[in-house]
Amino acid sequence: MNTTSIMIVGVGGQGSLLASRVLGNLLVDEGYDVKVSEVHGMSQRGGSVVTYVRFGDKVASPIVEDGEADFIISFEKIEAARWAKCLKKDGKIIVNTQEIDPMPVITGVAQYPHDVLNELKESGAFVDELDALSLAEQAGSSKAVNIVLMGRLAKYFHIEYEKWINQIEKLVAPKFVELNKKAFALGYNA
C-alpha cells in the first residue's frame, strides 16, 4: 500500500482547514484515494491543532502516527517541533518561522524555545523554513499564511502549478482569489 502522509499543524484559527481542503480536493481530482482528518470544536480555540491528509491507491487509516509523515507543514515554529516525532526519517518539514506564544509562555510558567528548529536540523531532519507571515502580508493579508505554505508544499509535488491555482479559484471566496494566488506564488518562489 503506497500511501503518502501529510500533516498540517498549527494554532487554532490559523486557517489549516482551508489548506487541507485545497490539498484534499486537488488530490481527489488527480485520481487518488484521499482521507483528511480534521479537528473541530474546543481544540480550535487557540489550541494546538493538527490535520492529517493521506493519499494513495487505497487509504485505510485517516490519521498519521509516529514516523509516518512524508511532510509536516507547520504554521508556527514550535508546532513543527511538537509534531516532529511523526516525521519519517526521510520526510520534510515546511515551517512558518512565526512564533505564537502559548498561554504557559504568556503567563511565564514556560519558556518559548526559539532555537528548536536548529535542534531538529541537527538531528538530521529536513527543515524548510520560511517567513510565511511576511509573505502573506506582502500578498495582502496575514490570513493567507495557509496558502503561502501550500505554495511552498507545491514545490515538492509532482502536480502542475495551474492545478493548484484551479483549486484556490474553486474553494476561496471570489474577492480573495487574487490575493491567495499571489500568496501561493510567493510561497512557491520563496
Partner 1 sequence: MKKLMIGNEAVARGIYEAGVKVVSSYPGTPSTEITEFAAKYDEMHCEWAPNEKVAMETAFGASLAGVRSACAMKHVGLNVAADPLFTLSYTGVNAGLLICVADDPGMHSSQNEQDSRHYAIASKVPMLEPSDSTESYEFAKAAFELSEQFDTPVILRMCTRIAHSQSIVTIGERENRDRQTYVKNGAKNIMMPANAKHRHPVVEERTNALTVFAETSAFNRTEMGGTDIGIITSGTCYQYVKEVFGDSVSILKLGLVNPLPVDLIRNFASQVKRLVVIEELDGIIETHCKNLGLVCEGKDLFTPLGEYSQKSIAKVFGLADKECFDTQTAIPVRPPVMCAGCPHRGLFYTLAKNKVTVMGDIGCYTLGAQKPLDALDAVLCMGASVSGLHGFNKALGNDSMKTCAVIGDSTFMHSGITGLVNIAYNNSNSLVIILDNSITGMTGHQQNPTTGYNIKGDPAAKIDLESLCRAVGIQRVRVVDPYDLTACDNAIKEELEKNEPSVIISRRPCVLLKSVKAKPPVKIDTDKCRSCKKCMKIGCPAISMVNGKAHIDATLCVGCGVCEQLCAFGAIE
Beta bridge pairs of residue 129: 95
Work out which of 8, 18, 19, 36 binds partner 1, going by CB under 8 A.
36
In the chain, the amino acid numbered 36 is V
User: With respect to partner 1, which residue has the nearer C-beta, 40 or 158?
Assistant: 40
Residue type, 91: G
Shortest distance, position 172 Cβ to partner 1, whole Å: 16
Give the interface segment with partner 1, choosing from 109-117, 147-155, 162-170, 176-184 (CB under 8 A): 109-117
| Other CB atoms within 10 Å distance of the CB of residue 91 | 19
User: Is the Cα torsion angle 93, 97, 99, 104 positive or negative in sign?
Assistant: positive
Q: Which one among 4, 56, 70, 112 touches partner 1, defined by CB under 8 A? A: 112
Does 73 interact with partner 1 (rule: CB under 8 A)? no
Interaction of residue 175 with partner 1, rule CB under 8 A: no
User: What is the Cα gyration radius of the chain?
Assistant: 16
Q: How far apart are CA 87 and CA 69, in angstroms?
A: 5
List b or e across 117-138, with b for residues whose CB sees 16 or more CB atoms inside 10 angstroms. beebeeeebebebbebbbbbbe
How many H helices and E strands in the chain?
Answer: 8, 6
Cell of 166: 484551479
**In the range 4-33, which residues lie near partner 1 by CB under 8 A?**
11-13, 24-25, 28, 33
Binding characters for partner 1, 121-140, by CB under 8 A (x = yes): --xxx---------------
Which residues ranging from 140 to 159 are in contact with partner 1 (CB under 8 A)?
142
Q: Using the rule CB under 8 A, is 179 a contact of partner 1?
A: no
**Which residues are at the interface with partner 1 (CB under 8 A)?**
1, 11-13, 24-25, 28, 33-48, 59-63, 65-68, 78-79, 81-82, 84-89, 101-108, 110-113, 115-116, 119-120, 123-125, 142
